[in-house]
Amino acid sequence: MEASTTVIRSVDDVLDARAVTTVFQPVVRLDAWHRKRHETVGYEALTRGPAGTPWEQPLALFAAAAERGRLAELDWICRATAYRTAIDAGLPPGLTLFVNAEPAALGVPCPPDLAPAILDAQLRLRVVTEMTERSIGRDPSALLTAAEACRGSGWGVALDDVGVEPACLAVLPFVHPDVVKLDRHLTQHPGGGYAARVVTAVTAYAERSGAAVLAEGVETPEHLSAALGLGANLGQGWLFGRPGPLPPDVGQRHAAVGVPFVAPPANPGGRTPYEIVSARRPTARATKRMLLPISHSLEARALDAGEPPMLLASLQEARHFTPATARRYAAAAESAALVAAVATELPGEPAPGVRGTAIGGDDPLRGEWNVIVAGPHFAGALVARDLADTGADEDRRFTYAVTYDRDLVLDAARALLHRIVPT
């Protein structure tokens, strides 16, 4: 809470005094609103700095905190303030509280003075943690780890501003959000080929998972019509209410149908991509020379800048990440959502933009060669197990399987991601 005696001369003063406040904007069910029934299912918490200071608006506040190296602390302050304000106002568990979070901040310990508010929220609120798709470009690993941590705590996850970054669409099934928030630009300018690609990918994900789709920036009846046309079932914007205090009667409000949380994807349980795919698909034998064209063909699909995918590979040993491989993977990393490789003695960035993970010589992946590409619509995987032949490298034999079954490819990708993005 902001103390009236606090003198604010710098952003450090704001943070030291925990001098932020929270306003709330309603989230409504669009089909009900379209039928003139106002059904609020939750509220998004929005932070404001001290009024009349240069840090009143959140963008300026967060930018200043980042310059001071205190971004994670500010993130914790904002969330704790939102939780405490909602609890004090009597927000019932039938309504969902949407709260923004920086994925990297979730990996930083909570300041001790804020811990009681966080614990109270876990006991008394139904929270969906919003993470922006822009964090994919900065640190996709932090985004995936944070989403899994939120879900493990029993809270929901929303992916915010979807449609700003094309790479976001490939990450959807791995973040596995309960709510997909369409960026306001799509709501207000719904035409064009790019909007169509976003909508088809989001619709496909929502259909498979049961996730809700929320349109941001609904300010006019025309925007409402556009949001419904985009397939959104929830909405947020000035048409439904501007940010402000929670209503005095919010404790008596209960959503007829709340924001559902989707079932999480199956945990790979320590299995490798080869073990997952070979259990459901027949295998054959071939030499490395025979399998290389398949590998290169899959890797070429990772160059699709229109629908950037994820490219994940396990290459046994670092020596197999050759200069030619490095060039291919670096080219893919220029647009792909994530390009990552696993091998023994592999450096953290074996090529520009490529995330490397070193494994031990006794790791089961040491005996596997896997290339997995998963995009908004395309999914394919080559999984192979080394038969430990001696002789020339390209004559080494593998048992292998190739699959384009999307669900199976995603299961294999999750198994590899658990090595690349430890939790």
Digit-coded pLDDT (tens) for 139-159: 666 777 788 888 888 899 999
- Tell me, what amino acid is at 61? L
Question: In this structure, what token pair is assigned to residue 132?
Answer: 């922006």
Q: Which run of H or of E encompasses 384?
A: strand 379-386
Question: In this structure, what token pair is assigned to residue 114?
Answer: 């804020």
Determine the Cα–Cα distance for residues 151 and 6; give it in Å rounded to an integer: 37
Q: Which residues pair with 403 in a beta bridge?
A: 381
pTM: 0.89
Rounded to 5°, the CA angle 200-205-207 comes to 90
Determine the Cα–Cα distance for residues 163 and 32; give it in Å rounded to an integer: 25
Domain boundaries for CATH 3.20.20.450 within the chain: 11-252
Q: What is the mean pLDDT of the chain?
A: 91
Q: CATH class for domain 273-420?
A: alpha beta
- Tell me, what amino acid is at 266? A
Q: Residue 252 gets which letter from DSSP? A: G
What does the chain come to in residues?
423
Rounded to 10 deg, the angle between the 140-152 and 168-175 helix axes is 30
Question: In this structure, what token pair is assigned to residue 93?
Answer: 């568990």
Question: In this structure, what token pair is assigned to residue 165?
Answer: 């970054």
Determine the Cα–Cα distance for residues 169 and 163; give it in Å rounded to an integer: 8
CA torsion sign for 149, 152, 155, 157 is: positive
Name the residue among 264, 267, 95, 261 with its Cα closest to residue 178. 261
DSSP-derived pairing of the beta strands 284-287 and 234-235: unpaired
Question: In this structure, what token pair is assigned to residue 250?
Answer: 């919010």
Rounded to 10 deg, the angle between the 71-88 and 58-67 helix axes is 140
Q: What is the DSSP string of 109-132?
A: PPPGGGHHHHHHHHHH-EEEEEEE
Determine the Cα–Cα distance for residues 48 and 61; give it in Å rounded to an integer: 8
Q: Distance of CA 174 to CAs 104, 229, 338, Å?
A: 17, 26, 11
Would you give per-residue pLDDT tens digits along the chain (423 residues)? 444 567 889 999 999 999 999 999 999 999 888 677 778 999 999 999 999 999 999 999 999 999 999 999 999 999 999 999 999 999 998 899 999 998 778 788 999 999 999 999 999 999 999 987 656 555 666 777 788 888 888 899 999 989 888 778 888 898 899 999 999 999 999 887 888 889 999 999 999 999 999 999 999 999 999 999 999 999 999 999 999 999 999 988 877 677 889 988 888 888 999 999 999 999 999 999 999 999 999 999 999 888 899 999 999 999 999 999 999 999 999 999 899 999 999 999 999 999 999 999 999 999 999 999 999 989 999 999 999 998 899 999 999 999 999 999 999 999 998 888 654
Question: In this structure, what token pair is assigned to residue 380?
Answer: 């394919």
Question: In this structure, what token pair is assigned to residue 179?
Answer: 């709510």
3-state helix, strand, coil in the chain (%, to 5): 40, 20, 35
Determine the Cα–Cα distance for residues 49 and 14; give it in Å rounded to an integer: 8
Residue 202 has a pLDDT of 94
| Strands across the sheet containing 379-386 | 284-287, 397-403, 379-386, 368-374, 310-317, 338-344, 355-359
Name the residue among 44, 42, 45, 150 with its Cα closest to residue 103. 150
Residue pair 105/72 in contact by the 8 Å Cβ criterion = yes
Determine the Cα–Cα distance for residues 114 and 332; give it in Å rounded to an integer: 42
Q: What is the DSSP string of 197-222?
A: HHHHHHHHHHHHH--EEEE----SHH
Determine the Cα–Cα distance for residues 381 and 410; give it in Å rounded to an integer: 9
Q: Residue 256: is it exposed, middle or buried by C-beta count within 10 angstroms (0-12/13-18/19+)?
A: exposed
- Residue 52 makes CB contacts below 8 A (sequence gap 6+) with none
Q: Residue 239 gets which letter from DSSP? A: T
Give me the residue label for tokens 């699959």. 403
Domain 11-252 has CATH 3.20.20.450: yes
Give me the residue label for tokens 């498979």. 208
Domain boundaries for CATH 3.30.870.10 within the chain: 273-420
Determine the Cα–Cα distance for residues 68 and 66; give it in Å rounded to an integer: 5
Residue 1 has a pLDDT of 44
Q: Distance of CA 286 to CAs 3, 57, 101, 173, Å?
A: 71, 61, 48, 32
